Structure 1
């Protein structure tokens, strides 16, 4: 069967998987799950992913969850283009770059965390934005330093890799919150290069958002 991707158009993790599917030229069906309406907490969706998080990829025999796990599966099944290098040291470096975003930065700036700041601690919109900007800038500064000497237009050098797949959605979100990115020229260069790749551009939230 054709894989079925359950996603939300503005979800960073979903955006990563859309990029990877596009780069791998994998045809798939997309089913939108509206986070703002709580559809991810429905019994039907929780049966697919008990975490109630997006994305989820139904491959027929099993439903895969967690964006980097899904991308790792895609990389194992569809070899080209590779998301990580074959060399063990280079592979570890790329994974570290990707995890700065996927494991350290994104989780604490996620919508459910921002909502909890309000519901449990009374944070207003200004406080939510200050929280978001603080962690975003700290994480991007670390990634900028880690990739400053990486040659090529992409973080992956001559072609996008897993680090680029994670970077593009994160910078999209940073711009939504009006985070200044001037201090991150290497990351901006990689993001600009990625925006000119047709498969990456096709995954952009504006290309998949619900029609009004």
Structure 2
């Protein structure tokens, strides 16, 4: 069988478990795992080993035409792309809303998520794949995005990104901050607000139980 299986975190919330096709170190998969945990949704973890090219297997491409993780199967419904999955979960499973009622804070959540998903992450992946001697450039991309996030969240952050409750912005921020620290050795003293948020994430089971290093497909010796 192509994909390995394991039980994901979260309380039993549906009769038929969803299937999450995930890769342990994928920040896109990480943000979906957080949402599933927050909403108390039980799921079956289906590991797609990107290092072995399993994302290009015909079986997986039927679920995710781009070949990217994550992909979610919920009964007869298949959703690929992390943002689309999060919006699907938000509409179908309203428990623990991922978006605040306040329209201004909702807009800030969309902006923060977009900075990570559209500014930091695509440039980061391009550099990783195509440019030699890439670490300084990677740090520049991440730090530019983090500088923008510090400005955006100043004045609205509480314990979490847009107040004292966990919302969409936090689901995008936590994986990116984790990757910045573990993989790219970013000096977080330059970003005090994000560093403070990261400390709050460390104390919350939804973020800790779904960490890359706590996934069933993590290598025996983690190397970031």
Task: Normalising by structure 1, report the TM-score.
Answer: 0.91
Give yes or no for the alignment of 1:102 onto 2:117.
Answer: yes
Give yes or no for the alignment of 1:195 onto 2:195.
Answer: no
Offset of residue 109 of structure 1: 0.9
Match of 2:143 in 1: 137
Offset of residue 141 of structure 1: 0.4
Distance (whole Å) between structure 1 residues aligned to residue 66 and residue 35 of structure 2: 22
Match of 1:9 in 2: 24
Deviates more, 1:2-11 or 1:67-76: 67-76
Distance (whole Å) between structure 1 residues aligned to residue 74 and residue 173 of structure 2: 26
After superposition, residues 18-37 of structure 1 pair within 5 angstroms as 18-37=33-52
Gapped regions of structure 1 (runs ≥ 5) = 118-122
Distance (whole Å) between structure 1 residues aligned to residue 157 and residue 50 of structure 2: 38
Give yes or no for the alignment of 1:210 onto 2:223.
Answer: no
Match of 1:116 in 2: 129
RMSD after superposition: 1.3
Gapped regions of structure 2 (runs ≥ 5) = 1-15
CA offset digits 1:40-80 (Å, max 9, x no partner)? 01111111111000100011212101111111111112222
Match of 1:157 in 2: 163
Give yes or no for the alignment of 1:169 onto 2:175.
Answer: yes
Moved over 3 A (4+): none
Distance (whole Å) between structure 1 residues aligned to residue 128 and residue 115 of structure 2: 22
Contact residue 41 and residue 52 of structure 1 kept, 8 A: yes
Match of 1:120 in 2: none
Contact residue 2 and residue 28 of structure 1 kept, 8 A: yes
Offset of residue 115 of structure 1: 4.8
Closer, same or farther: CA 81–68 of 1 in aligned 2, 3 Å: same
Match of 1:61 in 2: 76
Distance (whole Å) between structure 1 residues aligned to residue 164 and residue 103 of structure 2: 19
CA offset digits 1:11-34 (Å, max 9, x no partner)? 000000000100111000000101
